[in-house]
Copies of this chain bind each other. A is one copy, B any other.
Amino acid sequence: MSTVSLDRLNAADKAQFAAMLGAIYEHSPWVAEAVAAKRPFATLAALHEAMMDAVRGADDAAKLKLIKAHPDLAGKAARAGALTADSTGEQASAGLDRLNEQEFETFHRLNAAYGKKFGFPFIVCVRRHSKDSIFRQFETRLDHDVAREYDTALQEVFRIAALRLDQHVEAPDKLNVQGRLTTHVLDTHSGHPAPGVAVELYELSSTGTGRLVTTSVTNADGRTDAPLIAGRPLPIGRYELRFSVGDYFARRSLALADPPFLDVVPVRFAIAEPEGHYHVPLIVTPWSYATYRGS
């Protein structure tokens, strides 16, 4: 599914409209069809709200069918390459296409237990989660009763739909689905922002070593040219920033200890609000540092 403008969606005939938004709800073009007559939509938020209302207003059988239209996470369909394009991208975003055998078995076991208890697949908006966080969701939600899980599943369906709308529709407004992770290195030894500091971001996992998410280097303003993560939800999970301040201070020709007191400074933190702005700066001298959740 490519990008389309809200204007074009408003101007299209009903069949085109339904076709263009048919993939927003998994295997359920009826949701788009149900709102075609409510056009024009002034905002993407209004379109999203109308589609959610269509789902909420459907009968229980239709809702359950919508829920069941979703694939298992890291399930057989995924292994067989039989997912929708959106689902494929979403599962890959959390690394579900790169599981080792043990993780695959865990997913298999959890999917089976969940399906047996609730009678429908486990649905989670995976772009809002790291792999660890998905496992935690699975375990927490397996303890729920059916009614609560049914509601939760619909909420996650709506979150998935919101993200698909955000990615596929150009509109004057933005849905609140994107977060932002930024950093900043301030050198309080010199009283200036620290340029040229290498920064690495790792996603940590309970089962092993971290996964490198991105690398960057601070610019003249002590910031990275682009946010470390942006344009998408921040996956709930644990992270580590690594700042190469030893190299930075060495380049400034300071008389440092040997080895220097600080070299690579790790800052380990968790993201809990996928749509939030996390600013995690480093205020540093060769002998001290501070960090905090800023904004």
Contact = CB atoms under 8 A, between A and B. Distances in A.
Interface string A236-270: 11100000000000000000011111111110111
Given A191-B286, A292-B186, A268 B266 contact: yes
A193 B270 CA distance: 18
Interface string A19-54: 000000000000000000000000000000000000
A290 B287 contact: no
A133 B258 CA distance: 10
A228 to B, nearest CB: 16
A295 interface: yes
Number of copies: 4
A254 to B, nearest CB: 10
Given A189-B189, A191-B286, A289-B291, A265 B262 contact: no
Contacts of A293: 188, 191, 261, 287-288
Contacts of A190: 287
B272 A259 contact: yes
A258 B136 CA distance: 11
A207 to B, nearest CB: 15
Given A268-B264, A295-B221, A257 B273 contact: yes
A167 B273 CA distance: 45
A110 interface: no
A57 interface: no
Given A257-B273, A260-B272, A288-B290, 7 more contacts: A189-B287, A191-B257, A191-B287, A192-B295, A261-B293, A262-B270, A264-B268
10 cross-chain pairs, A with B, having the tightest CB-CB distances, nearest first: A288-B292, A191-B287, A290-B290, A188-B288, A257-B272, A259-B270, A287-B293, A188-B287, A188-B285, A266-B266
